Amino acid sequence: MTDSANLILAPVATAVLDHVVRSIVDNPDAVRVEGVTNGDKIVLEVRVGEGDLGRVIGRRGRTAMSIRTVVRAAATRDGVDVDVDFVDD
């Protein structure tokens, strides 16, 4: 029997997303990536420290779009479809 609380949805995509976002922000210890199922897709929600959301989104959202592209490519290794949401708390 496996513990569902320890199950990481899309582990490769999550690891790639975590690595990329931590390399961009000023406070990498504040980065949190959480997977949530939404129908047949997995939504990876990213939370960053105060003041870092703009860095992750970038000008006109170009950095965010690039991150989404890389993470979707990594998700093919997991065999799932993912979306990436950048959450502002």
Residues 46 and 84: their CA atoms lie apart, in Å, by: 7
- CATH class given for the domain over 14-87: alpha beta
**Are residues 6 and 27 in contact, defined by beta-carbon separation less than 8 angstroms?**
no
Q: Kindly report the backbone phi and psi dihedral angles of residue 41, in degrees, each rounded to the nearest multiple of 5, phi listed first.
A: -110, 155
Q: Is the pLDDT of residue 31 over 70?
A: yes
Please state the pTM of the whole predicted model: 0.88
pLDDT tens digit sequence for 40-88: 899 999 999 999 999 999 999 999 999 999 999 999 999 999 999 999 8
The pLDDT, as a whole number, for residue 2 is 46
Band of residue 6 on the pLDDT scale cut at 50, 70, 90: low
The pLDDT, as a whole number, for residue 72 is 96
Band of residue 9 on the pLDDT scale cut at 50, 70, 90: confident
